[in-house]
Amino acid sequence: MCRTGEEAEPPKAGSIAGTDAAFTALLEDSAEELYEAAPCGYLSTLMDGTIAKANARLLGWLGLDRESVVGRKRFADLLTVGGKLYHETHFAPLLRMQGELHGIALEIKAADGARLPVLISSQIKYSSEGEPLLIRTTVFDASDRRAYEEELLRRSQEAQRARAEAEQARQEAEKARLRAEADRKRLADALTVLQQSLVPTSLPDVPGLETAVHYHTASDDQLGGDFYDLFPLDAARWAFFLGDVCGKGPQAAALTSLTRYTLRAAAHHDPEPVSALTTLNTVLHERYGADGDPRYCTVIFGIVEPGLEDGQVALRLASGGHPPALVLRSDGRAEFLRTPGGMLVGALPAAPFSTAHTVLAPGDTLLLYTDGLTEARTGPTRKDLYGEDALQVFAAALAPAAPQDVVDSLIALLNGFGAGLDDDTALLALGAPANRPGIPPGDGGVAMRPLYIAARDV
């Protein structure tokens, strides 16, 4: 967010002359002054990233003078090592494709070596002929958000002490509590919007493939770390992935965003599952390992090729430390599709991955899930974990079942865990449509099916 504390003091209530004077003073601000003294950073770059203009606010954060920046540095030079890599592999390519990007979390380096967390929004300016001319970027200081949360906690503690001292103090504390509730509600709403930006709001229609998805977040005031996606590679193949990052909150959100964009970019460069996971491992380790605070994720990445002979669907996938996929066969069997050798992605400089293959016959369904499902606590004391064995028995009782039927049944199971479900849970099911009367083979997809959202889900 932009820095605060720089707004002019409002005129006294009832003072018409004071109000007129305030508006007059505001209108006398020059455009240059508004640009230079804005509460956030502004810069304009050429299409190759060379900085052509930067305001005083940004230069002050960087601790640099204008002469050493304008025409001498590129936008990527202001970023940390991980930020440069992310800019080259994701930010810049996406910006060129979409024309604008908003709210991207990065870190900029100051002259003294300090790092400032920021949110970046960029937009390309085009000529009347549609040629890209330059890139305009807004830099928001995100460090105030942490201070803001600490201030909310401090106020709450002071209010509790005040209520114990006197009735008047109790009344003042009540007002503070109401203000804090409103602030928390706004924060929860913001977290909801941000959470929805980290996962697709719908799945695309894939000819010859049925799909279903579900996402449950365990906390209303923490960003979840589970993620998934399904996107086309070419006319015949689609890529998919589902995973879980370490941690919660804003750091998990940043890691999720980096993971999703890396896998998407890697898939279009080399769609082999092992290659995609290897690229992600390198990116995460270089981004976080050098800081002494390694961050990692578990993920399954795969390639699906529907529309084969007799309505079959071919699958190739690799796993990085993730629970194994479960296949529900049309003959009533439920079997795990093991991917041996997969390690946590990002934990080590190099990690081995291997590819598993399977073919879904009509009526077969592949289920991917995060460990929130298998690590749900069950039993009277909530000390037992649900586990993979119980999941396989549950799935065998469902088989054969279409993807949406599988996900619906698992949603009912999750709801039955109650307080025992204390972690985020994501489900993604892919299936070869069964040869049902009246439905042509290969026509089982559902165009842009919306997510199934249950109570307390984001």
Provide the residue type at 303 as one letter.
Answer: I
Mean pLDDT of the chain: 84
Q: What integer pLDDT is reported at residue 145 of this predicted model?
A: 66
Residue 156 reports pLDDT greater than 90 = no
Residue pLDDT, tens place only, 61-84: 999 999 999 999 999 999 999 989
Residue 446 reports pLDDT greater than 50 = no
More confident position, 118 or 217: 118
Half-sphere exposure of 152 (CA within 13 A, CB side): 17
Residue pLDDT, tens place only, 138-150: 999 988 765 775 6
Among 84-88, 146-150, 233-237, 405-409, name the one with the lowest average pLDDT.
146-150
More confident position, 153 or 386: 386
- Distances in Å between the Cα of 39 and the Cα atoms of 25, 63, 424 are 18, 16, 36
Percent pLDDT > 70 in the chain is 82
Q: What integer pLDDT is reported at residue 403 of this predicted model?
A: 97
Mean pLDDT, to the nearest integer, of 374-385?
Answer: 87
Mean pLDDT, to the nearest integer, of 415-427?
Answer: 90
Mean pLDDT, to the nearest integer, of 165-190?
Answer: 70
Q: What integer pLDDT is reported at residue 190 of this predicted model?
A: 53
43's CB contacts (< 8 A; 6+ apart) are 51, 53, 54, 55, 58, 75, 136, 137, 139
Residue 312 reports pLDDT greater than 70 = yes
Local confidence band at 173 (pLDDT 50, 70, 90 cut-offs): confident
Mean pLDDT, to the nearest integer, of 274-283?
Answer: 95
Residue 443 reports pLDDT greater than 80 = no
Residue 430 reports pLDDT greater than 90 = yes
Q: What integer pLDDT is reported at residue 14 of this predicted model?
A: 53
Residue 275 reports pLDDT greater than 90 = yes
Q: What integer pLDDT is reported at residue 108 of this predicted model?
A: 92
Residue pLDDT, tens place only, 347-363: 899 899 999 999 999 99
CA triple 87-90-96, angle to 5 deg: 95
Number of helices followed by number of strands (H, E) in the chain? 12, 19
More confident position, 81 or 163: 81
Half-sphere exposure of 185 (CA within 13 A, CB side): 6
pTM, full prediction:
0.56
More confident position, 31 or 100: 100
Among 253-257, 336-340, 451-455, name the one with the lowest average pLDDT.
451-455
Helix (H, G, I), strand (E, B) or coil at 255: helix
